[in-house]
Structure formats: C-alpha cells, structure tokens
Homo-oligomer: A and B are copies of this chain.
Amino acid sequence: MARGPLPMSDAPLVAGVELGGTKCVCLLASGPADIRGEVRVPTRGPTETLAAIEAVLRQWHTEHGFRALGLASFGPLDLEPRSASFGCIVGTPKRAWEHVALLPRARAFTVPVGIDTDVNGAALAEGLWGGARGLESWAYVTVGTGIGVGSIVAGAPVRGLGHAEAGHQRVPRLASEHWPGSCPFHGDCAEGLASGPAIQARAGLPFADLAADHPVWNEVVHALAGLLHNLILTVVPERILVGGGVVLGQPTLLPRIRLALQASLGDYGHVGRSVLTEQYLSTPVLGERAGPLGAIALAHRALQ
C-alpha cells in the first residue's frame, strides 16, 4: 500500500478541529494548498469552547457543505468503537474536560467524523502532505508542553488498548542525575525529564531562555535519545519527524540527539546507527500547521 499525496484538485472540502490545551484551531480545507477558512478559539471551559467551535462549523456547513469532519484532540481519548464513551475525552488532568463527548456532539453535522489524538492526526498529515509521504510506517514526535508520539504502522495509527502514550516511556538517566522529574504520574519518565515544563522546573528558566551549553540539555538529550532508541526498536518507523517548541527552539538539540542515538543504537543489525541519516530523523515539514492539518487528514480518512 504505497501512498502518495491526495490529488489536490479532486480532494473534497472537509472541516477539521484541532483541540489544544490553550487554543482550538478550526480549518475548512481540502488540504494545505487549499485552505478556505481558519478560525482560532481560545480553550476555556468545554461548554463555552465547544459552543464557539460549533458556531464556526455550522456556518461553514451551511455556506460550503463540507463532506466530513475531523477532530484531533488532546487526550486521553476513548478510541474503542465498541465502548459507550467512544470519542469522548477520558481521564485527563483538565478535569472540566473529563467525559466531554466530542464525537457524539460532532455527529450532529450528519457527515462522516474522524477522531484521534492530536499527535496521531499530525502524523497522518505529515504522511499525506509532509515529511512522510509515500511511507507505510513513520512516527511524529513533539516535545513541547508535553511529549507526544504518533506512531503509524501499516498506514494507520497504532491502536490497541486505546491509543499510545509513548512520550511517557521509562528511559535511563545519566549516571550523575537524580532530579525526580516533573511528570505527576511517572516522575522521571521521558516527558518528566525533557518536556518544556520539566526543563523549566529543572533549570528555573523557560527553555527558550537557556543557552545551548546549559547543563540541563545533557539530560534532555539523553532522555530523548533513550525514547527514540526504544521507539525505533519497538515500532521500527521508516522515518521519525521530531518537532515541538523545545526541539525547534533549540537548534543544537536535534543534531545532539542524533549523535547520542547513534551511540545508543550501535551497530545492531537493521536497527543500528546506519539508519540515522538526516532525512531519517528530521523536523516536520508542515511545521506548526501539522496539528490543524491533522484534523483535515482525519476528516479525509473518515471518508475512506
């Protein structure tokens, strides 16, 4: 199943909503080259926020008649189709959003609806229009407020006991490091060591204000190399796109991670250092648009 970009001229007009922790982005588009509408809604309580999003969608639906709707949301989400809470937010630290029924509400538009996590959506968008075109297996990693990983296997997001949460992997520490980490669930998991808030808690400054040679980057590099080592050996992606504010904001980081990862993988068979070309481990092509375009990608999948 080799897959290329959708033929833009024939791609149907769809709507997508990326629900994020601070803002929600609504798009009306057939793809990145044909964006007909874009509205940002600040993320407040669910009642107010969803009412504002629905007003945007209703107007677009009336005026343009979009063919499908995609929802790319922060999680955790219930993505088990047989579950009573399918398509709802579950067990999030954002208590007001717990049990919010995204998919059931979206069905009011009587078009096919696709829903997945924000990172799985972004991964799919990179597959359709970005840095993973033509691949069957790839991963999208974002290191920012948290660490999100979207893994695509055989062209579809990994699904099992719900969706994956591979940013919370357990990774080795540097020998001299004992800081307990900032993850409220796992302490020093990868997200607890290398996310933006973790770096700020550790260094006492926002990550954007840290010099490239600040010692906190040593453990960030080590933790992210450990995460990527495990991701490569577990889901063997054909390419990994790494973005998010932390990685994009500190240009020395990805080259350092690549070196640490080469040392970590060593010369191990088909998953050794030789796979780590610059193309293999690179930044997302769609940049900040990967998130909202992920919702558009989910809408297109809902039509298939």
Contacts and interface: CB of A to CB of B under 8 A. Distances in A.
Contacts of A138: 160
Interface in A229-261: 229-238
A182 interface: no
Contact of A238 (B137, B161, B188): B161
Contacts of A231: 234
A170 interface: yes
A136 interface: yes
B156 A154 contact: yes
A168 interface: yes
B161 A268 contact: no
State the oligomeric state as a number of copies: 2
Contacts of A269: 75-76, 90-92, 165
Looking at chain A's contact residues, the main secondary structure is: loop
A170 B264 contact: yes
A167 to B, nearest CB: 8
Contact of A270 (B162, B170, B172, B185): B162
Nearest to A139: B160
A187 to B, nearest CB: 9
Given A230-B170, A231-B234, A153 B161 contact: no
A151 interface: yes
A166 interface: yes
Contacts of A175: 178
A105 interface: no
A226 interface: yes
A136 B160 contact: yes
A234 B230 contact: yes
Contacts of A163: 236
Interface in A175-198: 175, 178, 185-186, 188
B226 A165 contact: no
Given A137-B159, A185-B266, A186-B266, A170 B226 contact: yes
Contact of A165 (B136, B185, B237, B271): B271
26 contacts: A78-B270, A90-B269, A92-B269, A137-B159, A149-B234, A151-B235, A153-B154, A158-B236, A161-B236, A161-B238, A164-B233, A164-B235, A164-B236, A165-B271, A166-B230, A166-B233, A168-B233, A168-B268, A169-B233, A170-B229, A172-B188, A185-B267, A185-B272, A186-B265, A230-B234, A234-B235
Given A158-B235, A159-B236, A185-B272, 18 more contacts: A76-B270, A153-B159, A153-B160, A154-B154, A158-B236, A161-B236, A163-B236, A165-B236, A165-B271, A166-B230, A168-B233, A168-B268, A169-B229, A170-B172, A172-B173, A185-B266, A186-B266, A234-B234
**Ranked 9 nearest A-B pairs via Cβ:** A137-B160, A160-B236, A76-B269, A185-B268, A91-B269, A166-B234, A162-B270, A161-B236, A169-B230
